[in-house]
Amino acid sequence: MNTQVLIVGGGLAGLSLARKLQAAGCDWQLVESRDRWGGRILTHTIEGQGYDLGPSWFWPGQPRIDALVDELKLERFDQAYRGDLMYQDETGAVHRGQGMASMQGSWRMLGGFGRLIDVLVAELPAQQLHLNTAVNSLHYNEQQIIVSTSSGFQCQASHVVLALPPRVASHLSFMPALSDQSMQAARNIPTWMAGHAKAVAIYSKAFWETQGLSGDAMSRLGPLAEIHDASPHTGEQAALFGFVGTPASHRRNNEEALKEAIRQQLGQLFGDDGANPTELIIKDWAFDKNTAIDLDAEGLRHHPAYGRPKALKNIWDGHLHFGSTEMGAQFGGFIEGALEVSSDLAQDIIGRLK
Ligand SMILES: Cc1cc2nc3c(=O)[nH]c(=O)nc-3n(C[C@H](O)[C@H](O)[C@H](O)COP(=O)(O)OP(=O)(O)OC[C@H]3O[C@@H](n4cnc5c(N)ncnc54)[C@H](O)[C@@H]3O)c2cc1C
Which residues, in sequence order, are CB contacts of 98 under 8 Å at separation 6+? 85, 86, 87, 218
Total count of domains within the chain: 2
Rounded Cα–Cα distance for residues 225 and 89 (Å)? 11
- Over residues 253-274, the mean pLDDT reads 97
Indicate whether residue 31 lines ligand 1 (CB < 6 A). Answer: yes
Distance 117 CA to ligand 1 centre (A): 12
CATH code for position 181:
3.50.50.60
Q: Is a pLDDT exceeding 80 seen at residue 347?
A: yes
pLDDT of 98 strictly over 90: no
pLDDT per position as a tens digit, 139-157: 999 999 999 999 999 999 9
- Predicted pLDDT of residue 235: 84
Q: Residues 11, 118: one domain?
A: yes
Q: What is the pLDDT of residues 24-49, one digit of tens each?
A: 999 999 999 999 999 999 999 999 99
Residue 316 neighbours by CB distance under 10 Å:
18
In this structure, the number of other CB atoms found within 10 A of the CB of residue 310 comes to: 9
Residues 187-246 pLDDT 10s = 999 999 999 999 999 999 999 999 999 999 999 999 999 999 999 998 889 999 999 999
Residue of 30, 32, 33, 40 to test ligand 1 pocket, by largest number of atoms within 8 Å of CB: 40
At 234 the pLDDT is: 86
Which of these three, 266, 286, 302, is where a domain ends? 302
> Are 60 and 84 part of one and the same domain?
yes
Atom 49 (ligand 1) nearest CA: 39
Could you tell me the pLDDT band of residue 100, with boundaries at 50, 70 and 90? Answer: confident
Centre of ligand 1 to C-alpha 273, Å, is 33
As beta bridge partners, residue 198 has 243, 283
- Domain limits for position 154: 1-41+113-192+303-354
> pLDDT value at position 157?
98
- In whole angstroms, what is the distance from residue 90 CA to residue 277 CA? 24
Q: If pLDDT is split at 50, 70 and 90, which confidence band does 102 have?
A: confident
Determine the pLDDT at residue 229.
97
